[in-house]
């Protein structure tokens, strides 16, 4: 397998979009903070945006950002959005960085369950280490959580299988690598749109105001027809990998 940097291979962009985009529900692509920072993120942290190739074919990919974190729970960024903001604003302010924050990892459909996600994490960690990023954290979006939209993230995080392993497969991958759960990343992503936006993103109708279960959402979407607004506040789980220090 070959590890390449996304920016070195713009020719693979269409293949990546095809391989990865269907992995997430449409609404996650409409987070205002992500829209504000995403282009600068890829510009400022190109070495932390990688693809795993096998004979030229994209198997998996992932990206992260570099930011400053003092190692305490209170100094964790406010989830995914907060990490993007801290990384980009910190970079522009010339702040020194010590932490790799893993933002997203995806494996193409036919390559899942082969341990490739761990290979992506390892490759990103190696690149982070080259830049003296001694801490590794991630605002993880547990892949099984959409099946339990009524459970709080705290409750979900405490669930284990009979064999003692975590119930969530994606969380298991991290924990098997020696990582630990730090706690809930509350309001990790906040997505707002008009009712028509939400109907388009989800393919559902929202006939009156109230809470809705939406496919792919980790929690509920709140629809307010009078204000013509839908709001989704997604909690994630902060996970910390073994420090390199
Ligand atoms: C989450 C993801 C990156 C894991 O990649 P992977 O290389 O398949 O991970 P692993 O091989 O380490 O598998 C981890 C566990 O997930 C399970 N798993 C993987 N794909 C699965 C699927 N489609 N359905 C159910 N379980 C799945 C594996 O069986 C394994 O379970 P185990 O602990 O009992 O062995 C991948 O499924 C993916 O791309 N998902 C969509 C994007 C996403 O949600 N990314 C994470 C948030 S950024």
Does a structural domain hold residue 205?
no
Query: Residue 96's domain is classified under what CATH number?
Result: 3.40.630.30
Q: How confident is the model at residue 31 (pLDDT cuts 50, 70, 90)?
A: very high
Does a structural domain hold residue 47?
yes
Does a structural domain hold residue 52?
yes
What confidence score (pLDDT) does residue 56 get? 87
What confidence score (pLDDT) does residue 22 get? 80
Domain that holds residue 46: 2-188+237-241
Does a structural domain hold residue 203?
no
Q: How far is CA 63 from CA 18, 103, 155, 163, in A?
A: 17, 6, 28, 31
What confidence score (pLDDT) does residue 23 get? 86
What confidence score (pLDDT) does residue 176 get? 96
- The count of structural domains within the chain is 1
Does a structural domain hold residue 232?
no
Provide the whole-model pTM: 0.94
Does a structural domain hold residue 209?
no
Residue 216 near ligand 1, beta carbon < 6 Å: no
Query: Would you say 48 and 100 are in contact if contact means Cβ atoms under 8 Å apart?
Result: yes
> In this model, does residue 153 exceed pLDDT 80?
yes
**Test site for ligand 1: of 62, 101, 107, most ligand atoms within 8 A of the Cβ:** 107
Euclidean distance between CA atoms 92 and 223, whole angstroms: 36
Q: How is residue 56 written in tokens?
A: 């030229």
**How far is ligand 1, taken at its centre, from the CA of residue 59, in Å?**
13
Nearest to 62 by CA among 19, 113, 110, 11: 19
Report the range of poorest mean pLDDT among 4-18, 27-41, 63-77: 4-18
Atom from ligand 1 closest to the CA of residue 114: 11
Q: How confident is the model at residue 243 (pLDDT cuts 50, 70, 90)?
A: confident
Q: How confident is the model at residue 222 (pLDDT cuts 50, 70, 90)?
A: very high
Greater pLDDT, 157 or 9: 157
Does a structural domain hold residue 16?
yes
Euclidean distance between CA atoms 24 and 29, whole angstroms: 8
> In this model, does residue 109 exceed pLDDT 90?
no
What confidence score (pLDDT) does residue 9 get? 86
Does a structural domain hold residue 212?
no
42-54 average pLDDT score: 94
> In this model, does residue 47 exceed pLDDT 90?
yes
> In this model, does residue 119 exceed pLDDT 90?
yes
**How far is ligand 1, taken at its centre, from the CA of residue 169, in Å?**
6
21-46 average pLDDT score: 93
Greater pLDDT, 101 or 22: 101
73-92 average pLDDT score: 98
Average pLDDT over the chain, rounded to an integer: 95
**How far is ligand 1, taken at its centre, from the CA of residue 113, in Å?**
6
CA atoms within 13 A on the CB side of 155: 8
């Amino acid at each position: 397998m070959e590890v390449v940097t996304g920016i070195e291979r713009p020719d693979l962009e269409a293949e990546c979009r095809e391989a990865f985009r269907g992995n997430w529900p449409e609404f996650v692509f409409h987070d205002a903070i992500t829209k504000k920072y995403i282009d600068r993120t890829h510009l400022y942290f190109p070495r932390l945006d990688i693809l795993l190739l096998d004979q030229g074919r994209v198997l998996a990919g992932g990206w992260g950002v570099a930011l400053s974190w003092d190692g305490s729970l209170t100094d964790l960024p406010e989830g995914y959005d907060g990490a993007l903001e801290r990384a980009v604003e910190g970079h522009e302010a010339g702040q020194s960085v010590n932490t790799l924050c893993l933002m997203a990892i995806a494996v193409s459909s036919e390559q899942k369950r082969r341990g490739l996600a761990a290979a992506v994490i390892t490759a990103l960690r190696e690149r982070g280490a080259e830049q003296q990023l001694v801490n590794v954290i991630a605002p993880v979006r547990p892949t099984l959580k959409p099946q339990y939209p009524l459970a709080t993230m705290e409750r979900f995080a405490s669930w284990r299988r009979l064999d003692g392993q975590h119930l969530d497969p994606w969380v298991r991958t991290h924990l098997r690598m020696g990582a630990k759960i730090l706690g809930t990343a509350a309001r990790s992503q906040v997505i707002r749109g008009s009712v028509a936006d939400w109907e388009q993103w989800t393919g559902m109708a929202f006939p009156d105001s109230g809470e809705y279960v939406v496919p792919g959402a980790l929690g509920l979407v709140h629809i307010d027809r009078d204000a013509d607004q839908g709001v989704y506040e997604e909690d994630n789980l902060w996970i910390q990998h073994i420090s390199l220090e």
